[in-house]
């Protein structure tokens, strides 16, 4: 393969889409975005590759109207038709009100919308085994979708955001295209928020007299899919920690395939050389840095080398990880090593990258690779320290997103489930079978399926996404219970 390749857009071009409520304000914007990306918007009775349902409850964003509610019977019929074919994508576009409590919005409307989301989650779990992947987008304040607030209320709203601007049409287009593409094959029933970090629950400054931003930037229109591909990383530089195998290796290859110059950090020089060779032989740029994240100064030195030898740094990906299950490393030393690799190394890497960006007044992106073990109590010997360290990593990432947003720095977290990596080889086959039985996609995830959402979060396509915890777990966290009596 020659680098760079064209992710996302190349996989959706020529495919068909049906938009529910296509003549609404939001529907017309979505249709224009999909058509600009090369998709054909089909008639309502066709069985498309993508079905997009619009349920934009305006609530606190005004005006006090909303588009017609999508018919559940029609949605289920569409999912069934896709399942007969063996493939399909469905996306619900709703409003962030479903996950926030706005004092200016009615509780009944919020409850109805929350119920709608939960219905879609059940639908996702039901149809994923039959090849239909269903996810949701929660849209924040978006004038292009028909939202309208008085100037004073608009200014107040921005004070509650990490990224203080409204959602634009190209933000929605990029997220929708990502969920519809071949880059998204292990996300099931997830909500991707386009709210500029509203979910971080920031506390605004006491004074309303000097808001950070008096008014939003002008609406950009549907530009992202036209002319340039926002999923590409040409001219950008990334550093990937833990890049010798598994998710880190796949991520380094994916970033390079999108045009990024990639610095890869790990202990194994042979494995690093193999990754560099694969990237450079395909026409990419890569720098191997042998180092142990537990060694004092190793992380800081690696970041400095990237600036010195590759001329810049735009993205930090921290995929280094350690699970005491691998070695039976118990007791205090095992706990310290687990936290040292999974949390302390990430903290040091983030501090080094952020310091370099702030000093140079450069924006940057951070993506941490956590685990659904951060919030699911998986019963595995010695798993407590791993789960606790990943939970700390997740929350640290969210705090970074809020703290450094004013410097143009975004931070997001990926939470994989069980993935076919060297770490997973330590898991007993019967335990794997039990885990897979609870996943709607009914299989292990592949490292590449985690790498592609990471690349999305590192790209301009996700410029309005920060502080998000994106679960790429095949739907495990939906809590699917297999038919009782059929447990493996």
Residues 399-457: tens digit of each pLDDT:
999 999 999 999 999 999 999 988 777 777 888 888 888 899 999 999 999 999 999 99
- Looking at the fold, whether 175 and 324 belong to one and the same domain comes out as no
Q: What percent of the chain has pLDDT over 90?
A: 66
pLDDT of residue 273: 96
Mean pLDDT across 127-146:
94
Q: Is residue 222 part of a domain?
A: no
DSSP per-residue string spanning 254-288: HHHHTT-EEEEEES-HHHHHHHHHHHHHTT--EEE
pLDDT of residue 377 exceeding 50, the answer is: yes
Instruction: Give the mean pLDDT of the chain.
Output: 88
- Looking at the fold, whether 31 and 104 belong to one and the same domain comes out as yes
pLDDT of residue 328: 60
The tally of domains found in the chain comes to: 2
* pLDDT tens-place string over residues 152-195: 999 999 999 999 999 999 999 999 999 999 999 999 999 999 99
* pLDDT tens-place string over residues 6-57: 678 888 999 999 998 888 889 999 999 999 999 999 876 789 999 999 986 6
Q: Is residue 223 part of a domain?
A: no
- Of 181, 200, 219, which residue is a domain's last? 200
pLDDT of residue 167: 95
CB neighbour burial string for 79-111, b if at least 16 within 10 angstroms, e if fewer: bebbbeeeebbbbbbbbbbbbbeeeebeeebbe
Write out the catalytic residue numbers. Answer: 386
- List the alpha helices (DSSP H) in 48-150: 72-85, 107-127
pLDDT of residue 57: 64
pLDDT of residue 208 exceeding 60, the answer is: no
Domain holding 397, by residue range, is 237-478
> E strands along 107-216, which residues?
132-139, 191-194
pLDDT of residue 217 exceeding 50, the answer is: no
Specify which of 134-138, 227-231, 480-484 reaches the highest per-range mean pLDDT. Answer: 134-138
pLDDT of residue 465: 97
Q: Is residue 207 part of a domain?
A: no
Residue of 166, 165, 167, 162 whose CA lies nearest to 204: 162
- Looking at the fold, whether 26 and 172 belong to one and the same domain comes out as yes
pLDDT of residue 225 exceeding 80, the answer is: no
Residue of 375, 388, 372 whose CA lies nearest to 435: 372
pLDDT of residue 398 exceeding 80, the answer is: yes
| Alpha-carbon distances, residue 475 vs 125, 195, 231, 356, 445 (angstroms) | 7, 23, 24, 37, 10
- Of 149, 176, 200, which residue is a domain's last? 200
Supply the DSSP symbol for 233: -
- Looking at the fold, whether 178 and 246 belong to one and the same domain comes out as no
- Looking at the fold, whether 123 and 262 belong to one and the same domain comes out as no
Cβ atoms of residues 409 and 364 within 8 Å: yes
- Looking at the fold, whether 116 and 33 belong to one and the same domain comes out as yes
pLDDT of residue 228: 78
pLDDT of residue 468 exceeding 50, the answer is: yes
Q: Is residue 261 part of a domain?
A: yes
- Looking at the fold, whether 251 and 369 belong to one and the same domain comes out as yes
Cβ atoms of residues 357 and 312 within 8 Å: no
Kindly state the tokens that stand for 129: 């085994």
Label residue 85 by pLDDT band (50, 70, 90).
very high
Label residue 280 by pLDDT band (50, 70, 90).
very high
- Looking at the fold, whether 43 and 174 belong to one and the same domain comes out as yes
Q: Which are the contacts of 23, defined by CB distance < 8 A and separation ≥ 6?
A: none
Q: Is residue 42 part of a domain?
A: yes
- Looking at the fold, whether 270 and 191 belong to one and the same domain comes out as no
- Of 171, 200, 229, which residue is a domain's last? 200
pLDDT of residue 223: 34
- Looking at the fold, whether 97 and 241 belong to one and the same domain comes out as no
- Looking at the fold, whether 317 and 434 belong to one and the same domain comes out as yes
Q: Is residue 354 part of a domain?
A: yes
Q: Is residue 176 part of a domain?
A: yes
Q: Is residue 331 part of a domain?
A: yes
CATH number (domain holding residue 77): 3.40.50.720
pLDDT of residue 209 exceeding 70, the answer is: no
> How far is it, in rounded angstroms, from Cα 278 to Cα 284?
9
pLDDT of residue 97: 62
Label residue 212 by pLDDT band (50, 70, 90).
very low
- Looking at the fold, whether 195 and 254 belong to one and the same domain comes out as no
pTM given for the model: 0.92
> How far is it, in rounded angstroms, from Cα 243 to Cα 417?
18
């Amino acid at each position: 393969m020659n680098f760079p390749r064209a992710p996302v857009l190349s996989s959706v071009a020529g495919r068909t889409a049906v938009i529910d409520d296509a003549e609404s304000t939001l529907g017309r914007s979505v249709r224009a975005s999909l058509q600009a990306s090369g998709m054909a918007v089909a008639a309502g009775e066709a069985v498309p590759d993508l079905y997009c349902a619009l349920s934009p409850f305006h609530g606190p964003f005004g005006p006090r109207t909303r588009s017609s509610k999508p018919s559940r019977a029609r949605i289920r019929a569409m999912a069934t038709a896709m399942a007969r074919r063996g493939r399909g994508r469905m996306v619900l576009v709703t409003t962030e009100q479903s996950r926030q409590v706005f004092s200016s919005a009615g509780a009944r409307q919020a409850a109805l919308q929350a119920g709608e989301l939960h219905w879609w989650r059940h639908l996702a779990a039901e149809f994923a085994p039959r090849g239909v992947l269903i996810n949701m987008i929660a849209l924040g304040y978006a004038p292009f979708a028909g939202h309208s607030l008085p100037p004073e209320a608009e200014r107040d709203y921005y004070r509650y955001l990490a990224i203080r601007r409204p959602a634009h049409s190209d933000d929605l287009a990029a997220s929708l295209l990502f969920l519809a593409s071949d880059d998204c094959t292990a996300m099931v029933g997830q909500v991707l928020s386009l709210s500029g970090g509203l979910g971080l629950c920031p506390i605004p400054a006491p004074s309303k007299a000097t808001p950070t931003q008096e008014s939003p930037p002008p609406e950009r229109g549907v530009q992202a899919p036209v002319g340039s591909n926002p999923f590409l990383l040409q001219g950008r530089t990334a550093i990937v920690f833990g890049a010798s195998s598994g998710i880190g290796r796949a991520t380094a290859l994916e970033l390079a395939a999108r045009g990024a110059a990639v610095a890869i950090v790990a202990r194994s020089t042979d494995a690093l050389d193999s990754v560099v060779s694969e990237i450079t032989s395909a026409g990419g740029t890569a720098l191997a840095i042998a180092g142990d994240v537990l060694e004092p100064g190793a992380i800081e030195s690696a970041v400095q080398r990237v600036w010195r030898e590759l001329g810049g740094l735009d993205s930090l990906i921290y995929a280094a990880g350690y699970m005491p299950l691998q070695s039976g490393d118990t007791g205090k030393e095992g706990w310290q090593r687990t936290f040292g690799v999974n949390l302390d190394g990430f903290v040091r890497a983030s501090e080094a990258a952020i310091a370099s960006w702030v000093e140079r007044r450069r924006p940057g992106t951070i993506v941490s690779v956590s685990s659904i073990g951060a919030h699911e109590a998986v019963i595995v010997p010695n798993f407590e320290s791993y789960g606790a360290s990943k939970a700390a990593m997740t929350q640290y990432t969210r705090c970074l997103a809020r703290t450094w947003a004013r410097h143009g720095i975004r931070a997001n977290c990926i939470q994989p489930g069980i993935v076919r990596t060297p770490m997973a080889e330590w898991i007993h086959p019967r335990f794997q079978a039990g885990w897979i039985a609870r996943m709607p996609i009914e299989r292990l995830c592949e490292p590449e399926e985690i790498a592609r959402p990471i690349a999305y979060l590192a790209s301009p396509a996700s410029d309005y996404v920060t502080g998000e915890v994106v679960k790429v777990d095949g739907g495990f966290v939906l809590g699917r219970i297999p038919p009782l009596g059929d447990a493996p």
